[in-house]
Amino acid sequence: MSLISENIKFLRKKNGMTQDDLASELGIKRSLIGAYEEGRADPRIENLTKIANAFRIAIDSLITSDLTVTDEKFTYRKTDKAPLRILSITLDKENKENIHLVPQKAAAGYLNGYADPEYISELPRFQLPMLPQNASYRAFEISGDSMLPLESGTVVVGQYVETLDSIKDGKTYVLVTGKEGVVFKRIFNYVKDKGKLFLVSDNKSYSSYDIPAEDVLEIWEAKAYISVKFPDPNDNQNVSIESLASIVMELKDEVAKLKSK
């Protein structure tokens, strides 16, 4: 069999799909999927593009990389509610998921490579044994001072969130978005009512704003952070319950204004 045939079969099975499922998603005959996986036919460029897009990987990876290799052990995850969002991860020698770090300088490149197994494998990786092992994590180095007391350069470790409706109001998340890039904010979920998420900074010097739900590529709920600077006991910039309540009230006013338009 060719690499293409092995990779197609591997990706399909990893995502719990039958040949009928994949054929239906691609809009082609099931017998053609069988021919591809058995090496009796190679996909034309049109179908090759469909397959690569369906599994959110680069065409080059589909053609030239052996995705079944055991030294990297790639896993692909997708959900019923977001069938085209697939998470690429790697496993260590003990079959534990690695936490990959996205440094500030790599944030722009991550928008293009977040679904590419080869790109993910080149990111720095580490383990945090205190985190539950039944979830996937990624680390992002944040920039700017909009989320004080977490300063620029702090590494935020986020747990993968599969669907928008899992976002909890007032919690902090790293969002990977098509237009805003990688952002770390406190989120309020108005997807059901307005199809938008409201992003709020803990630093009150920054205004809140909204983004359309369809612009969100990945969601990571903040679970831990790593910083080289220890908290200053005299630092009074921590977010209080009162300031959070003020933020919520401001957001309610913004929502009311949107509804009145």
Most confident of 7-21, 56-70, 165-179: 165-179
Q: What is the mean pLDDT of residues 231-239?
A: 58
Same domain flag for 92 and 213: yes
| 74 domain-assigned | no
Q: Is residue 260 pLDDT above 50, yes or no?
A: yes
Q: Is residue 235 pLDDT above 70, yes or no?
A: no
Query: The CATH number of the domain where 44 resides is what?
Result: 1.10.260.40
What pLDDT score does 179 carry?
87
Same domain flag for 52 and 101: no
What pLDDT score does 38 carry?
92
Of the two residues 15 and 86, the one the predictor is more confident about is 15
| SS3 of the chain | CCHHHHHHHHHHHHCCCCHHHHHHHHCCCHHHHHHHHCCCCCCCHHHHHHHHHHCCCCHHHHHHCCCCCCCCCCEEECCCCCCCCCEEECECCCCCECEEEECHHHHHHHHHHCCCHHHHHHCCEECCCCCCCCCCEEEEECCCCCCCCCCCCCEEEEEEECCHHHCCCCCEEEEEECCCEEEEEEEEEEHHHHCEEEEECCCCCCCCEEEEHHHEEEEEEEEEEECCCCCCCCCCCCCCHHHHHHHHHHHHHHHHHHHHC
Number of domains in the chain: 2
What pLDDT score does 60 carry?
73
| 214 domain-assigned | yes
Same domain flag for 27 and 127: no
| 83 domain-assigned | no
Of the two residues 22 and 237, the one the predictor is more confident about is 22
Same domain flag for 183 and 109: yes
What pLDDT score does 80 carry?
35
Same domain flag for 177 and 231: yes
Q: Is residue 242 pLDDT above 60, yes or no?
A: no
What pLDDT score does 75 carry?
47
Q: Is residue 202 pLDDT above 90, yes or no?
A: yes
Of the two residues 91 and 34, the one the predictor is more confident about is 34
Same domain flag for 116 and 61: no
| 80 domain-assigned | no
Same domain flag for 14 and 63: yes
Question: pLDDT grade, residue 248 (50/70/90)?
Answer: low
What pLDDT score does 134 carry?
82
pLDDT in tens, 118-164: 788 899 999 998 998 888 999 999 999 999 889 999 999 999 998 88
List the domain range (segments joined by +) for residue 161. 88-260
| 251 domain-assigned | yes
Q: What is the pTM of this model?
A: 0.63
Same domain flag for 182 and 98: yes
Of the two residues 234 and 222, the one the predictor is more confident about is 222
Last residue of a domain, one of 34, 68, 102: 68
Query: The CATH number of the domain where 164 resides is what?
Result: 2.10.109.10
**How high does pLDDT run on average in the chain?**
82
Give the whole-number percent of the chain exceeding pLDDT 70: 80
| 75 domain-assigned | no
Q: How far, in Å, CA of 213 to CA of 5, rounded? A: 35
What pLDDT score does 172 carry?
96
Same domain flag for 141 and 255: yes
pLDDT in tens, 50-104: 888 787 777 777 888 777 764 444 444 443 344 334 577 888 888 788 999 999 9
